[in-house]
């Protein structure tokens, strides 16, 4: 970790942000260097490149008719085949069937081949599509070029790079994110969960954090972005007489966010126009959708005095200007749509509604069936409290997890009316059960908190700052088949090798140099894993010859065919690693340098 800079990248569903810190200024033991933001050069109009605070996560696929007579040159590239960022989003509102967005949501969609060229779904015949991985790669590649343009004396691939992912990404989505980074020319990349990054940003802004929270506090991180909602709980604990922070639980990746609000507003105005016999085609509706997003952000912005936002849509045919369609988005309609539709006042026992599904559906993202974020939050706090064994989670008498603090993150939560409603609903639940109200942790830059926090975490990995602990809540074992003569009707006895001890910190590893095993490759074979919540003193590499029936729980076996000659038995050693995102990686390492990797999640999660 001798690089000059630590760079944190928020690879967002809607926008990407970049923050960094000069590690050469980390020598002062009494203060951390200031985290800075990287302005990202990008096309904002044909032929116009401008530094912007964020890079929209948008990719436009032009054809021969696009941008005629105009240049798409970037400072580091001439006439790219695809357009990334602000101009992509702008042009995509006019030709939505050539616009790629929400690539990160597609990365998390296990129901499709995430490496297949499938975006945009409605692209014109003959258009070259891209995969979610390629779209992500192009955003990351743009950021690398932007960095090198601004820092020619400090090449990007020589720096420490951290990229954030949703807390609920599965192992495949994490691997694909890292694969996209490698294809984008990145060096080794560390992945970090977005809600944790948001909390690290709060720590960076509040060096006196130990005076603001105390042992027993429970911090709820609510992250609502353009396309997703995530919840995380962080517990304040004590270790060796000092305050510590532990990630206690994470929720599911919910495809519900600001885009849903914008769509609801667009449908509302579409109905108003239809009542006046004005019907919109698909292109006009997508332009309306984008303008509703702009209107929502302006009408809900702090200090806004306007009561409406003017919307103008180009007409059809030759008289485009003369046939323009005009409408007004009213602030009262925006607030009513947000509060009544997405943030209704519900009971903590109200769970998300499950709608009866139509048998045949278009291929698309698995959006949340219930748009009420407050019901999604109720489910998280109820099911988290019921499922987790984390001893530091405050609960009410009915079992509801009871946060003491709330940290907001994501562009949607810049609107005070949304933050207020969420806090009011949560505190209504706590009051009903006789629990003190939760406090809001305010004063953060919600659009850059994730990238800033990733940068802070990079400093913490170098010993400069506080790390959130999230020790594994169980002990994990891999099954080892004994070398015994075959007995009719009886499988060979099984031993259990301890590969993850209870409380093993995320981001740490163990190797077992004194133990060697035979690994079957080239044909299907099962890896058997076990876990225990009661055996907390087994050490890494310890072999269990036998155990009580209630001590170990067998997990679903992993059937794999590892690369190699059919039926080959390779002598290997084992290494175990728990990543920062809560994934156990078990490496089988042969003496000739070959390595095989298995992964599964050891993170507590709400179902």
pLDDT tens digits, 46-55: 999 999 999 9
Residue ranges of E strands in 166-266? 189-193, 218-224, 229-239, 242-250
Q: What is the pLDDT of residue 605?
A: 44
Strands 189-193 and 218-224, sheet pairing: unpaired
- Give me the architecture of the 5-192 domain, per CATH: 2-Layer Sandwich (3.30)
- Give me the architecture of the 475-601 domain, per CATH: Sandwich (2.60)
H or E stretch covering 519: strand 517-521
Estimate to the nearest angstrom the gap between the alpha carbon of 211 and the chain centroid: 29
Place of tokens 């490759």: 521
What does residue 158 show for φ and ψ, rounded to 5 degrees?
-105, 5
Q: What is the pLDDT of residue 384?
A: 61
CATH fold, domain 209-255+367-466, is Nucleotidyltransferase; domain 5 (3.30.420)
**Confidence band for 341, pLDDT divided at 50, 70 and 90:** very high
Rounded Cα gap, residues 169 and 146, in angstroms: 27
- Please give the share of the chain, as a percent, with pLDDT higher than 70: 91
Q: What is the pLDDT of residue 330?
A: 95
Angle between helices 132-150 and 171-183 (to 10 degrees): 50
Q: What is the mean pLDDT of residues 594-606?
A: 71
CATH fold, domain 258-342, is Actin; Chain A, domain 4 (3.90.640)
Model's pTM, two decimal places?
0.80
Q: What is the pLDDT of residue 607?
A: 33
- Of 201-205, 428-432, 481-485, the least confident: 481-485
pLDDT in tens, 347-401: 999 998 876 655 554 556 667 788 999 999 999 998 765 555 555 678 888 889 9
Mean pLDDT, the chain, rounded, equals 86
Position 319 pLDDT exceeds 50: no
Domain with CATH 3.30.420.40 in the chain: 5-192, 209-255+367-466
**Confidence band for 320, pLDDT divided at 50, 70 and 90:** very low
Domain with CATH 3.90.640.10 in the chain: 258-342
3-state secondary structure of 468: strand
pLDDT in tens, 138-185: 999 999 999 999 999 999 999 999 999 987 777 788 889 999 999 999
């Amino acid at each position: 970790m001798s690089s000059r800079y630590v760079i944190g990248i928020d690879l967002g569903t809607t926008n990407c942000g970049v923050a960094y810190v000069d590690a050469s200024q980390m020598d002062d033991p009494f203060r951390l260097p200031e985290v800075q933001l990287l302005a990202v050069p990008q096309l904002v109009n044909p032929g116009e490149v401008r530094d912007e605070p964020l890079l929209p996560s948008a990719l436009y696929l032009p054809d021969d008719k696009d941008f005629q007579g105009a240049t798409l040159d970037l400072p580091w590239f001439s006439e790219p085949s695809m357009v990334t960022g602000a101009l992509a989003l702008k042009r995509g509102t006019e030709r939505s069937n050539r616009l790629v967005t929400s690539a990160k949501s597609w990365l998390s969609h296990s129901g499709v081949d995430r490496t297949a060229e499938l975006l945009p779904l409605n692209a014109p015949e003959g258009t070259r599509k891209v995969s979610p991985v390629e779209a992500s790669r192009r955003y990351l590649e743009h950021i690398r070029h932007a960095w090198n343009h601004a820092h020619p004396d400090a090449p990007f691939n020589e720096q420490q790079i951290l990229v954030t992912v949703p807390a609920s990404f599965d192992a495949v989505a994490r691997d694909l994110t890292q694969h996209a980074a490698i294809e984008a020319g990145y060096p080794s990349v560390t992945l970090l969960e977005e809600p944790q990054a948001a909390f690290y940003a709060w720590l960076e802004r509040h060096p006196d954090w130990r005076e603001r929270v105390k042992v027993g506090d429970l911090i709820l991180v609510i992250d609502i972005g353009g396309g997703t909602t995530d919840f995380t709980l962080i517990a304040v604990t004590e270790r060796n007489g000092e305050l510590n922070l532990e990630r206690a639980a994470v929720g599911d990746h919910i495809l519900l966010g600001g885009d849903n609000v914008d769509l609801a507003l667009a449908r509302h105005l579409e109905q108003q126009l239809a009542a006046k016999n004005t019907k919109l085609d698909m292109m006009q509706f997508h332009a309306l959708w984008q303008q509703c997003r702009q209107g929502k952000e302006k009408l809900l912005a702090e200090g806004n005095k306007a009561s409406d936002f003017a919307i103008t849509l180009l007409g059809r045919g030759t008289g485009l200007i003369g046939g323009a369609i005009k409408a007004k988005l009213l602030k009262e309609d925006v607030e009513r749509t947000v509060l009544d539709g997405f943030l209704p006042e519900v009971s903590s026992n109200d769970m998300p509604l499950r709608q009866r599904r139509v048998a045949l559906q278009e291929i698309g993202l698995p959006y949340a069936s219930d748009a009420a974020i407050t019901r999604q939050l109720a489910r998280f706090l109820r099911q988290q409290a019921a499922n987790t064994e984390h001893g530091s989670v405050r609960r009410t008498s009915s079992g509801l997890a009871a946060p003491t603090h709330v940290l907001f993150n994501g562009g949607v939560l810049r609107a005070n009316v949304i933050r207020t409603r969420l806090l009011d609903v949560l505190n209504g639940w706590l009051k009903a059960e006789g629990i003190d109200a939760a406090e809001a942790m305010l004063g953060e830059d919600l659009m850059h908190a994730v990238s800033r926090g990733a940068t802070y975490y990079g400093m913490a990995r170098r010993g400069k700052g506080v790390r959130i602990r999230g020790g594994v809540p169980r002990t994990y074992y891999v099954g080892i088949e004994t070398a015994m003569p075959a007995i009719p009707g009886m499988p060979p006895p099984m031993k259990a090798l301890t590969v993850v001890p209870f409380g093993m910190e995320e981001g740490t590893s163990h190797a077992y140099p004194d133990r060697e095993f035979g690994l079957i490759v080239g044909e299907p074979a099962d890896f058997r894993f076990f876990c225990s919540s009661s055996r907390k003193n087994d050490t890494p590499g310890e072999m269990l010859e036998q155990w009580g029936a209630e001590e170990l729980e067998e997990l679903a076996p992993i059937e794999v065919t590892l690369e190699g000659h059919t039926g080959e038995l390779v002598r290997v050693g084992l290494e175990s690693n728990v990543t920062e995102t809560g994934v156990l990686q078990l490496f089988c390492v042969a003496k000739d340098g070959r390595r095989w990797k298995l992964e599964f999640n050891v993170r507590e999660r709400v179902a």
